[in-house]
Amino acid sequence: MDLVWGASGTAALRFSEGIEICLEEARTNGKLFAYLELGSLPAGEARIACLERLLKLNCLEQGTSCGTLAIDEATDTVLLQAGLPLSDLSMSGLEQAIAALLQHRPRLAASLHPQEQDDSMQEKKKAPSTAARLGWRHMPLRETA
């Protein structure tokens, strides 16, 4: 898989199952951000409870294990993001960050709507991780000239 940058410093990696990981260079703080969508914030009273859960998960990255949670203000979409310093960025470091985002995506997406999580918890325990199902380790990125 080749990684090709757009003119605006962004790129997207599209995987089967409709999963997309966006890459965006933030030169002002010297980072490359890799992020994916977890879903929309719920409406009404559930919104406040969801925001509280997201804040708790974000604390010291203990609940996310691989990055931070954010909200795209234009779309009210919850994002899981990892900021990687450009100064020591390597392809293996980028691959590890992407694999971690894919691995933790199902659990964190379920935290947006915990009532639905209880119903499907048994199925998720039996299923392989998203990264494994997508064969991430078998499709390494290559640096392009």
DSSP 59: G
pLDDT at 15 over 90: no
Do β-strands 31-40 and 77-85 pair in parallel, antiparallel, or remain unpaired?
Answer: antiparallel
3-state secondary structure of 11: strand
> What mean pLDDT, rounded, does the chain reach?
79
Q: Which domains, and CATH codes, for the chain?
A: 10-135 (3.30.1460.10)
CA distance 128 to 121: 13
| pLDDT tens digits, one per residue of 75-113 | 999 999 999 999 999 999 999 999 999 999 999 999 887
**In this predicted structure, what is the pLDDT of residue 65?**
86
Instruction: State the amino acid at position 131 in one-letter form.
Output: A
